[in-house]
Structure 1
């Protein structure tokens, strides 16, 4: 549709401003709470959440065009319905009407796409429940059964054992570049020591890793299984998977479950890990030696340390600067702790 020459298309700031206004939503809402991340804005009304992708481009994603953002919205809904079908309601256009105003849906030129979700209660998110120490073993076993059924329904990746080990070696090496920057204050020698021990595990335990591949344990999972993405409703749901890069979702379920256990440990409820993992083993029939779990957890901790450093570089003032180096140090300590457990015999 042609747009009047006297009314230029709205800027991204115009779109954010429009979505901040409670009067612009079809369902009445008392207010709109906004949450900004590095790649999106989320607008929380009383009953729904609307996610707007930023027109950004970086090494791991490209949202620089409207069509790219539409495709990513579609993928986000498709993938997240695997574990949260009741939450992800669809993709909604933000349109520019003939008369020059923005609107959610309806006639007009589409100028953005939004993912529409049912708003979940913050008090039922796992990270919030951990702060209240209000998580039970029964809840985690229920979550474990959900995840076991999820992984069982995925066709294993057609990946050879050598390729899987090569992927792990690359993932081990990648964090060192970021963690080696002296400006971030992360002890580089300690990071190198962890990475060397992880690489030695891959060499020493090649047969164990090859067995995971042979048993069909490498699948397209969630990719970012953290407490803030788990909602313990009567029927638990898991949201916000990595939709923008499939390679980040290719993993061993034990890696992903170990990651969730690691984050629960960091937040102060280490007992959640055994509850979850024992429940998963019983529901799935999967078994593994303890060193493999600790290896995966150490690798995840190093990845999170790298991401903390990235945040320090990219943060626009939304968080205290000291937050990110402290977080990187916490993750480095976790990486050391778990790789030490992985090498115990």
Structure 2
């Protein structure tokens, strides 16, 4: 990984190459690009190829080729916990001696890609949200319960957990108050004040989760679009770049999925997931704690949506403003 060409292709050159159907050894008729904050995903008929962007922030660092390679390896390892035959390999995009890019050929590596088998989009939870029942959701719930039952318990004491939650809420408040976002200061202050007041006045509810061994290494980004109701169900795209953000309370993580189902118009499905997990784990969860977790997750999602508006040239800015507004409304509702 150290013998780099004199002139390494940039992101746009790599993107142009990967958008060409002739670039793929298995052959492709067309290639679709899906862009996220941190990656570009190239979809062929059968596979998905994920390329990290050379970005750096307070919570991740993809600034060098070596760091992107390490993250690709982690993504492969971690996502195999909740999938079967989906995460296939980490492949090198190489530059030949003739300065030609090649995928799977000779040359020095200039980028690394995670290769995945494509899952049927019609099997994703958002696509099936209207027809999903408690019965059809049961296999997904079983897989999640089995996962949490065997997940590594994180040795975190109550005081540490409280401090981590407090710092996170304060950071979200600061991020959302960025002047360039133009968001209503009073609303953001109200949400942050309510979340911090819960941590301050109900510390025993939160501390008990850590002291009781409830904090585990989970998925980290459990959203409906990452859940596929196939046989067996597949849960993709975990948060691979930060172990600390993956270490959480399963009730917090499932509360997040429940919140997203609620915003899709299926509050009942979220209740099925939470009740099923609590029954399986023998875990009694106070309603106040669940409301706190949902409120904090909605606040986080508002911040992530708003962050897209700070990206310079923003595709679909109205979409991200609308999402920010929806999540702030949800946070306000749960924090009242």
The answer to whether residue 282 in structure 2 is matched with residue 285 in structure 1 is: yes
Contact 1:140 1:279 in 2 (8 A): no
What is the CA–CA distance in structure 1 between the aligned matches of 2:185 and 2:165, rounded to whole Å? 20
Shift of 1:182: 4.9
Contact 2:156 2:211 in 1 (8 A): no
SS in 2 for 1:328: helix
Give the CA deviation at 1:317: 3.1
RMSD: 1.8
Residue equivalent to 2:198: 201
Q: 1:268 to 1:95 in 2, by over 3 A?
A: same
Deviations along 1:122-153, one digit per CA (max 9) or x if unpaired, are: 111112222xx121211322212111111111
Q: CA deviation at 1:175?
A: 1.6
Q: Contact conserved, 1:149 with 1:284, CA < 8 A, in 2?
A: no
Deviation at 1:98, TM superposition (A): 2.6
Normalising by structure 2, we get a TM-score of 0.94
Matches within 5 A, 1:127-142: 127-130=126-129, 133-142=130-139
Q: 1:228 aligns with which of 225, 241, 250?
A: 225
Q: Does the CA-based 8 Å contact 1:184-1:325 persist in structure 2?
A: no
Q: What is residue 305 of structure 2 aligned with on the other side? A: 308
Residues 284, 100 of structure 1: CA spacing in aligned structure 2 closer, same or farther, 3 A cutoff? same
Following TM superposition, by how much is the alpha carbon of 1:329 offset from its aligned partner in structure 2, in angstroms?
1.9
Whole-angstrom distance in 2 between the partners of 1:292 and 1:4 = 54
The alpha-carbon deviation at position 120 of structure 1 amounts to 1.0
1:338 — aligned with what? Answer: 334
Aligned to 1:164: 161
Q: Where does the alignment leave 5 or more consecutive residues of structure 1 unmatched?
A: 341-345
Establish whether residue 173 from structure 1 lines up as the match of residue 165 from structure 2: no
Structure-1 separation of matches of 2:265 and 2:333: 15
Deviations 1:219-262 (A, max 9, x none): 11111111111111121111111111111111101000000110
**Which residue is 1:26 aligned to?**
25
Residues 172, 9 of structure 1: alpha-carbon distance in 2 compared, 3 angstrom cutoff? closer
Aligned partners of 2:5 and 2:95 also within 8 Å: no
1:62 corresponds to: 61
1:145 maps onto 2:142 in alignment: yes
Q: Which residue does 1:44 correspond to in 2? A: 43
Structure 2, unaligned stretches of length 5 or more?
none
- Whether 2:200 is the aligned partner of 1:212: answer no
| C-alpha displacement of 1:183 | 4.5
Distance in 1 between the 2:109 and 2:179 partners? 46
1:15 positional shift: 1.4
Tell me the alpha carbon deviations over residues 280-317 of structure 1, each in whole angstroms, 9 at most, x when there is no partner: 12222222111111110000011111112211111533
Q: Report how far residue 106 of structure 1 moved.
A: 3.0
CA distance in 2, matches of 1:151, 1:50: 28
Q: 2:324 aligns with which of 316, 322, 328?
A: 328
Higher mean displacement: 226-235 or 136-145:
136-145
Q: Could you give the per-residue CA deviations for residues 7-49 of structure 1, whole angstroms, max 9, x where no partner exists?
A: x443322211111111111112221111111211101111110
